[in-house]
Structure 1
Amino acid sequence: MAELTQLEIKPDENSMEFSDSYTLHHSDHPGLILVSKTLDGNNYGQWSRVMRMGLSAKNKIRFIDGTIKAPTPLNTKHAARKRSNDMVTLWIVNSVHSHIAGSIMYTETVAAVWNDLRDRFSQSSDSRIYQIRQEIVKNRQGQFIVSAYYTKMKALWDELASYHDPLAFTCEGLKRLAEQKRRKELCNSSWD
């Protein structure tokens, strides 16, 4: 009976360990590739979506969304946070084209790296959003079988939806919502 209790406690301890964003798994290493296609400047929307999924799977998404704040150097978690921050930064550096990597490798926090890449490359998302909307309007079933046509249309709608990140209820989130609305109105007026 005592053995059973120890077995029941052990999985909880392991799940607690992996729920801590500072924990690095034995398979986590600097050369780990989380995305198959590197960011080249023209594929930011797709790259960031896949990178966010990879970081979420590794329980490191909080490093890029800014919810993990740097502990003071005297805090016992400071070294663990620094290691994890550096590891996630390396994963991002290794997932971008070399001409982009040189401009981010000296940034101190992974959140700053992420924000820098978003600020630089999400601007091209506006033209991609316009292209997707044009494709949706022009796309016809034609010779496609229904399932192929549906798959193409679903991919376009899903990609279009991916360009609208969930917004936090903060002043910054409200600013981004207003900016998205302004861009949508501009885009819609160009369709008329």
Structure 2
Amino acid sequence: MTETPQHISNPDLTTIFGGVYYIHPSNTASKLMTDVFDGTSYIDWQESILLSLSTKNKLGFIDGSLPKPPATDHTYKAWCRCNDLVKSWLLASVDKTVGRSVRFKKTAADVWTDLAERFGQPSSTLLYSLQKKLLLLEQGSDSISEFYTKIMAIWDEIDNQDPLAICACNNCICATGRKNLKSQQDSRVMMFLMKLNDDYVQARTNILMMNELPSLGSAYRFCVQEERHKEIKQVVSSSHESLAFAADRRKFQDKNNFTKSTY
């Protein structure tokens, strides 16, 4: 009887396309992200890492859903290789100071958990700084779009540090999460309107007089329309002033010409 070759009975799982252990040849030298984590803005870094690992089908190596198999298991070698690869990706995504503190962790999941425990907790100091920044923010000379981008950036940072509470009960009928979200949105719509320049008092009044406050995005679009309307009026007004000035100038020239012709 012909013996089955070892490489056929136990194929290298890291070469099987589509499998969780598959490693593309380019992945061994690639990085998950260009900017490294230096101990600040952990939530942003975490989200970028999760997205990158998801596209590479390697989330299981950090979220605990793919634990280390026994040494006798046929997936053991492939798991170890993938784990080392994911761990190297994580270490390459943090600066040297942070990296030295986790480099001797055995698994990528251990590295991930350690970083989450140290840097994933809300920072009261940062939240205070963001709230103060929000309090001092005004539209000033910014366009509606520029101002909206600035205030949304602050709110995004606040949400990262202090996520909105949601109901965790099964078959929820209290709608706590939806109520909390609506309350947050209404508060932000009013804050957005309050911080606009006085030029938008009419838009502010129209929105506040609605039976139910619109979403933040809808309030933004409403104010942008008002901004464009003001720009059009300004252009038309400038055109009328230019025409009136030209007419007055022509009358003055005609009068001078008439005066000269009488002599």
Once the two structures are TM-superposed, the CA of residue 88 in structure 1 deviates from its matched residue by 0.5
Q: 1:36 aligns with which of 34, 37, 42?
A: 34
Q: 1:66 to 1:137 in 2, by over 3 A?
A: farther
Partner of 1:181: none
Secondary structure at the residue paired with 2:98? helix
Partner of 1:137: 135
Partner of 1:97: 95
Per mean C-alpha deviation after superposition, the further-off stretch among 140-149 and 154-163 is: 154-163
Indicate the structure (1 or 2) with the bigger Cα radius of gyration.
2
Once the two structures are TM-superposed, the CA of residue 120 in structure 1 deviates from its matched residue by 1.7
5+ residue gaps, structure 1, are 1-15, 170-192
Verify: 1:106 aligned to 2:104, yes or no. Answer: yes
Secondary structure at the residue paired with 2:17? helix
Q: 1:150 to 1:45 in 2, by over 3 A?
A: same
Q: 1:55 aligns with which of 53, 56, 69?
A: 53
How many pairs are equivalent? Answer: 151
5+ residue gaps, structure 2, are 1-15, 169-263
Structure 1 contact 45–122 (Cα < 8 Å) conserved: yes
Once the two structures are TM-superposed, the CA of residue 166 in structure 1 deviates from its matched residue by 10
Letter in 2 for 1:84: C
- The CA distance in 2 between the partners of 1:23 and 1:100, in whole Å, is 29
Partner of 2:173: none
Partner of 2:24: 25
Secondary structure at the residue paired with 1:104? coil
Secondary structure at the residue paired with 2:101? helix
Partner of 1:158: 156
Verify: 1:149 aligned to 2:138, yes or no. Answer: no
Secondary structure at the residue paired with 2:26? coil
Q: 1:84 to 1:155 in 2, by over 3 A?
A: same
- Structure 1 segment 158-177 matched on structure 2, within 5 A: 158-163=156-161, 164=163
Letter in 1 for 2:20: S
- The CA distance in 2 between the partners of 1:121 and 1:69, in whole Å, is 24
Structure 1 contact 64–110 (Cα < 8 Å) conserved: yes
TM-score, structure 2 length as denominator? 0.52
Once the two structures are TM-superposed, the CA of residue 93 in structure 1 deviates from its matched residue by 0.7
Letter in 2 for 1:128: L
Structure 1 contact 40–96 (Cα < 8 Å) conserved: yes
Once the two structures are TM-superposed, the CA of residue 73 in structure 1 deviates from its matched residue by 1.2
Structure of higher RCO (CA pairs closer than 8 Å, 6+ residues apart): 1
Same amino acid, percent of matched pairs = 32
